[in-house]
């Protein structure tokens, strides 16, 4: 007959973290498993517990080479207990038993960077857990299983094949029921919640390795010391949080003061820049007016120059005509007088045209 180990409580990393008699330290299981040979049955009725402790148990089961390990879910294998259940060579579930899969969670505090690091760590834990589920769900992708974990899915024995889980029927006596002791799951179906109120069964008749009886007086003193230590650590954490809060407020006040100074400087710089822009605008307007006046003077100079050129041309023509005997001084004087009397370039051009046409002598 295969030797058996019962996981009928919360999973913790080691003996020092036990709070209740039902807690199962991973160190206890790994130490027990190292001494075994042949086939083994791991009976599970647990609401899960510490991720690192659960992974230690699951990896020890997966790495066992002296026989085959069958994981039997007698009542509930929730959270990390469901990971352990999927680590064995075979996964069996009793009638009415449940698996519950969900994302790992934690309690944390700190600044934004601390929270981001914790979130990244939880994602890595989720990815490591997925590998165990995929071992019992060959037809499901990682994304399919992530969706089940996101939804905190409760999976009954009867529905397990519909979710892709390869499970067998538990053949032992079905007297073991759920003994969830410390956490409640709001999304658990009614059938699963019934296990929460069921009484813990007596130990099975088969040979089972269990931890030795506890010295309750020493156990109580140990728990009392742990409680006092927890109170002390809580007070220290609260003081640390208050100190961080005060430091953050002080830093924020300094930032606000610095920002106010920067805003005041920016407002002064803006006022100075506005004054400079106004001054430059006025100077630009003055320059524009001066340029327009210079353009007008240039136009007048150009007209005067053109008039001088025209006069020079006319005088040259008149000289040639006088030399040739075509004109006499009197008519030329009349033409010169008319040119002198002309007020616009247009009038002067008309006189030149008449001159060229021979209408003016």
Whole-angstrom Cα distance, residue 19 to residue 220?
10
Pairing of strands 40-46, 3-7: parallel
Contact between 97 and 47 under an 8 Å Cβ cutoff? The reply is no
- Directed axis angle between helix 112-136 and helix 51-62, to 10°? 30
Contact between 19 and 223 under an 8 Å Cβ cutoff? The reply is yes
Taking Cα atoms as reference points, which of 67, 71, 64, 58 lies closest to residue 39? 67
- Fold for 3-211, please state it: 2-enoyl-CoA Hydratase; Chain A, domain 1 (3.90.226)
- Directed axis angle between helix 329-341 and helix 345-357, to 10°? 160
**In the chain, where the domains are located:** 3-211, 213-306
Whole-angstrom Cα distance, residue 343 to residue 341?
6
Whole-angstrom Cα distance, residue 273 to residue 279?
10
Q: Following CA atoms 256, 257, 258, 262 in sequence, which dihedral angle do they give, to the nearest 10 degrees?
A: 90
What pLDDT does residue 93 have?
Answer: 93
Contact between 220 and 16 under an 8 Å Cβ cutoff? The reply is no
Contact between 49 and 11 under an 8 Å Cβ cutoff? The reply is yes
Phi-psi category of 155—alpha, beta or left, where left has phi over 0 and alpha has psi -120 to 50?
Answer: beta
Q: What share of the chain is helix, strand, coil (3-state, %, to 5)?
A: 60, 10, 30
Contact between 36 and 58 under an 8 Å Cβ cutoff? The reply is no
User: What is this structure's pTM?
Assistant: 0.49
Taking Cα atoms as reference points, which of 64, 62, 57 lies closest to residue 7? 57
What pLDDT does residue 220 have?
Answer: 53
- Provide the total of helices (H) and of strands (E) in the chain, helices listed first: 9, 9
Whole-angstrom Cα distance, residue 189 to residue 197?
14
pLDDT, averaged in runs of 10, over the chain (361 residues): 88 87 92 94 92 92 93 93 92 91 71 70 73 85 84 88 87 44 50 49 43 50 63 75 82 89 91 92 91 89 88 83 68 75 88 83 65
**Residue 100, φ and ψ in degrees, nearest 5:** -130, 125
How distant is the alpha carbon of residue 240 from its chain centre?
27
DSSP string, 56-69: HHHHHHHT--SS-E
Spell out the alpha helix ranges (H) of 137-215.
142-150, 190-196
Joined tokens for residue 269: 């710089």
Residue ranges of E strands in the chain: 3-7, 11-12, 24-25, 40-46, 69-78, 90-93, 98-101, 153-156, 168-169
Block residue for tokens 């997925």: 130
Residues 6+ apart with CB under 8 A from 106: 118, 122
């Amino acid at each position: 007959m295969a030797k058996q180990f019962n996981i009928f409580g919360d999973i913790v990393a080691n003996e020092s973290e036990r709070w209740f008699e039902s807690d199962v330290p991973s160190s206890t299981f790994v130490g027990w498993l190292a001494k075994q040979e042949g086939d083994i049955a791991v009976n599970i009725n647990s609401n899960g517990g510490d991720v690192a402790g659960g992974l230690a148990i699951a990896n020890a089961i997966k790495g066992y080479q002296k026989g085959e390990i069958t994981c039997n879910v007698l009542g509930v294998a929730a959270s990390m207990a469901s990971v352990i259940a999927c680590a064995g060579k075979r996964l069996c579930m009793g009638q009415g038993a449940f698996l519950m899969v969900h994302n790992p969670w934690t309690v944390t505090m700190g600044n934004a960077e601390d929270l981001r690091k914790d979130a990244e760590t939880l994602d890595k834990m989720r990815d490591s857990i997925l590998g165990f589920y995929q071992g019992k769900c060959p037809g499901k992708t990682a994304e399919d299983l992530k969706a089940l974990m996101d939804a905190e899915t409760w999976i009954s024995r009867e529905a397990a094949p519909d979710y892709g889980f390869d499970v067998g029927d538990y053949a032992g006596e079905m007297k073991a029921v759920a003994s969830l002791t410390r956490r409640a799951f709001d999304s658990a179906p009614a059938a699963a919640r019934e296990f929460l109120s069921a009484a813990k069964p007596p130990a099975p008749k088969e040979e089972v390795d269990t931890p030795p009886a506890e010295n309750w007086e020493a156990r109580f003193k140990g728990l009392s010391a742990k409680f006092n230590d927890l109170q002390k650590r809580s007070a220290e954490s609260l003081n640390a949080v208050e100190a961080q809060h005060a430091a953050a407020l002080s830093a924020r006040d300094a930032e606000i003061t610095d920002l106010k100074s920067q805003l005041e400087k920016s407002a002064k710089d803006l006022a100075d820049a506005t004054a400079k822009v106004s001054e430059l605008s006025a100077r630009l307007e003055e320059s524009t007016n001066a340029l327009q006046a210079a353009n007008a003077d240039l136009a007048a100079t150009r007209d005067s120059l053109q008039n001088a050129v025209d006069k020079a041309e006319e005088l040259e023509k008149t000289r040639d005509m006088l030399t040739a005997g075509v004109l006499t001084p009197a008519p030329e004087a009349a033409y010169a007088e008319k040119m002198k009397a002309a007020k616009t370039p247009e009038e002067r051009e008309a006189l030149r045209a008449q001159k060229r046409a021979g209408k003016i002598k």
